[in-house]
Amino acid sequence: MEQLNWMAEYAAFVIMLGLSVVIGLYYGCISKQNTVNDYLLGGKHMSVFPITMSLVASHISGITLLGVPSEIYSNGTQYLIVGVVNTVVVIFLVVFIYLPVFYDLQLTSVYEYLGLRFNSNIRGLSSLIFAVHLILYIPVVIYIPALAFNQVTGLDVHLITLIICVICIFYTTIGGLKAVVWTDAIQSLFTAVSILIVIILGVMQVGGIGNVIKANQEGGRIEFFKMDPNPFLRNTFWTVTIGTTFQWLSALGIHPGAVQRFVALPTHGKARKAAVWFVLGICIVKILTGAIGMLIYTKYKDCDPLMANFIDNDRKLVPYYVMDVAAKFPGLTGLFVSGIVSAALSTMSAQINTVSGTIYEDFIVKMMGIKVSDLTASIIMKCIAVISGIICVLLVFAVEKLNGILQMSISLGGVTHGALLTVFTLGVCFPWANSRGAMYGMLTSLAVMAWIVAGAQFAIYNKELKFVELDVSIAGCPANTTFSNHTDFSGLIRLNEEVYASPNVPTIYTVSYMHYSTIGTVVGIAVGLAVSLLFPTDQNIDPRLLTPCIRNFVYPKYMAETVKNGVTCHNKTDTYELVSQETKL
């Protein structure tokens, strides 16, 4: 019987990995991806459904599946306002500001835009920043599901990490974008089914949705409109809505992986549909994972697993809950873990595919001036994918030392998101922004956010900066339980209702982690515009490098000629032709 249970737990995991390998073999060996266009854009024959599923899957990792429930359990539902308020704002900004520019230009790498709008130095630096960010981010994505798998099976974390990475690198390397997109779509089904099953079982165990809402209300977990504008409070309506808007713009509006998938669609209309469905899909996943957090609190409201030493950190809260809830149903724990691993695989494969294209286009081709055949280019990108994957595996050892899944992920992204969003927004929205302004704005944003984020993370690691979590109880724990105190604030000063810090910690380090991308973007744009105005340059800007609303306002004559003549821009050659046309107007 025990052996049958063991086989059931592994079945879903093996099936999911097997399908990923088969898809990689199909697109790598049968439907070969031997050109740059095939490898990065799927030959532009992709449809909206797999692209949308791939976008959602590549942005929903184990960080979301494990981090959001833990956040809701410890700090309440304020974070979930992101699923309601941000949807309309982000869709509007992406569809009407960023997407029209990048889709019309039809660039293989979104960083080619910066070469056209500014210069090759800004393009190269931006690509480097992005590549470094991904290589630092992917190990977090890998480690979280490996930890969950370790908790369920007892296998060594690093062995699991190696297995996951080898399979992911395999199908991403040989199959290109088509393999990535279709494995993402299939893996997202595993993820969705696992989430729904856990929610259904959880609701049944606690006696219905009404009991879940009642327990969370009594425990002070339900809160959506904490309207205090204080930026030093960890989570409020304003920190969440404003902060995540900038985060999502960076992840959807200018992210090479997202833009790569939009460009892979045959029409602009389909790209817009994919963007809309993607944002809606992200919102649904956030709300569902938040519901798991509410279920966890309902079950453990009288005996906190962390204080009772049933688990040693919040990363293990969700796997512990799933093993508890699904103990009577062989295979369900394995299904949920396979969902977490699926989410990690989809994110890692998408990012490796993206980073290989970025490094090839922006360094090997542009910076080094190497021109090779399509087959050789495909081989080079595959080698880059393998090397990137190996580096990410090695960096998992460093991730083990960090704490707080969701906050850690957002904090790491906050260093680079603001800098990259700065340079693209300056280019798309501000005709007077020049290369010098863009460079200084990007570097200032990067320096300021590296200082703030590194300082805050060191303070957290040294226990000089701590955050107040909502109250938990141990009244219902077994009598022989040994408890631990996770709320020791001795030697720290209470700065506000949510933050304690040592007197040695600068106040700026205590700003809400949700505002990292906001601060980076605002600082960068302000410096970029100021430098551009102080050191103006004569420049002829191709109107198609500007977002339509700005383009129509600044170049009405050009747009009238464009409409009259039916001029369109569908490839890089047209882009350069339009630049020369603009100099004549």
Give one DSSP letter per residue of 92-115, joined into a string. HHIIIIIHHHHHHHT-SSTTHHHH
**What pLDDT shows up at residue 30?**
58
Give the integer Cα–Cα distance in Å for 188 and 403: 26
15, 208, 242, 275 from 96: Cα distances, Å: 41, 42, 19, 11
d(CA 408, CA 252) in angstroms, rounded, equals 20
What crossing angle do the helices spanning 256-263 and 268-300 adopt, rounded to 10°?
130
User: Residue 150 has which token pair?
Assistant: 């370790």
- Per residue of the chain (585 residues), give pLDDT as tens: 445 555 666 676 677 667 666 766 665 555 554 444 444 444 455 677 777 777 776 666 667 777 888 888 888 888 887 666 667 788 888 888 998 998 888 876 788 899 889 988 898 888 888 877 777 777 777 777 777 777 766 777 777 777 777 777 776 666 555 666 666 666 667 777 778 888 888 898 888 889 999 999 988 888 888 888 888 888 888 888 888 888 888 878 888 778 877 887 878 888 888 888 888 888 888 888 889 999 999 998 888 888 888 887 777 788 888 888 877 777 677 777 777 776 666 667 667 767 777 777 767 776 666 666 667 776 777 777 777 777 777 777 766 655 555 566 667 777 888 899 999 999 999 998 999 999 999 999 999 999 998 888 888 878 888 888 888 888 888 877 777 766 677 778 888 888 888 888 898 988 988 888 899 999 999 999 999 999 988 777 888 889 988 888 777 654 455 544 444 443 333 333 444 333 332
The first and second tokens of residue 68, run together, are 């959001």
The predicted pLDDT at position 427 comes to 92
**Confidence (pTM):** 0.78
Which residue carries 């025990």 as its tokens?
A: 2
Residue type, 420: L
Taking alpha carbons only, the member of 459, 443, 577 closest to residue 520 is 443
CA dihedral of residues 10, 284, 132, 110 (deg, nearest 10) = 120
Q: Per DSSP, what are the bridge partners of residue 18?
A: none
User: What pLDDT shows up at residue 571?
Assistant: 38
Take residue 535 and report the two structure tokens written for it.
């050191």
Q: How many CA atoms lie within 13 A of 23 on its CB side?
A: 24
HSE, side-chain direction, 13 A CA sphere, residue 472: 26
Q: DSSP string covering 255-323, please?
A: -HHHHHHHHTSSSHHHHHHHHHHHHHHHHHHHHHHHHHHHHHHHHHTTS-TTTTTSSSSGGGHHHHHHH
Q: Which two tokens stand for residue 477?
A: 């724990």
Report in angstroms the alpha-carbon separations of 167 from 172, 520, 565. Answer: 9, 36, 51
What pLDDT does 343 receive? 66
Q: Are 44 and 297 in contact (CB under 8 A)?
A: no
Look at residue 542 in the predicted model and tell me its pLDDT. 83
pLDDT of residue 434: 92
pLDDT of residue 173: 66
